[in-house]
């Protein structure tokens, strides 16, 4: 990208929405990120709750497919408990979105001379 293309891009850090990231894995299926709210000095911001995000991978004929989804949890233990169902829901949602994209692509009318 050139400097002209970057003119409208805002790289300002939102200091009211900072998180420290912690990562956990079972080295098999689950990766869980815990996003801990912090202030601009890096100190814990107890006025906001931690956010949990789950990640896993599925093997497909085309290779590994990453799956990611929010884990509705108030603690790490709860995040572990909801992980399987959340990943299942994220997988189903991703498949539905892929089908919709394919249907949209398949239904596109191609007019010669146009892209």
Q: Cα 84 from chain centroid?
A: 16
Domain ranges of the chain: 18-104
Over residues 68-79, the pLDDT tens digits come to 999 999 999 999
Over residues 26-49, the pLDDT tens digits come to 999 999 999 999 999 999 999 999
Stated as kind and residue range, the H or E segment containing 42 is: none
Return d(Cα 76, Cα 80) in angstroms, integer. Answer: 6
3-state helix, strand, coil in the chain (%, to 5): 25, 30, 40
Centre a 10 Å sphere on the Cβ of residue 88 and count the other Cβ atoms it contains.
13
Stated as kind and residue range, the H or E segment containing 33 is: strand 31-38
Note the pTM of the prediction, 2 decimals: 0.79
């Amino acid at each position: 990208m050139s400097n002209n293309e970057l003119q409208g891009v805002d790289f300002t850090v939102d200091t009211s929405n900072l998180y420290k990231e912690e990562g956990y894995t079972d080295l098999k299926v689950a990766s869980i990120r815990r996003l801990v709210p912090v202030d601009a000095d890096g100190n814990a911001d107890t006025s906001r709750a931690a956010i949990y995000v789950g990640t896993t991978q599925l093997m497909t004929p085309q290779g590994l497919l990453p799956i990611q989804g929010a884990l509705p949890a108030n603690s790490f233990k709860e995040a572990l408990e909801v992980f399987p169902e959340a990943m299942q829901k994220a997988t189903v949602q991703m498949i539905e979105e892929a089908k919709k994209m394919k249907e949209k692509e398949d239904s596109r009318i191609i007019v010669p001379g146009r892209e």
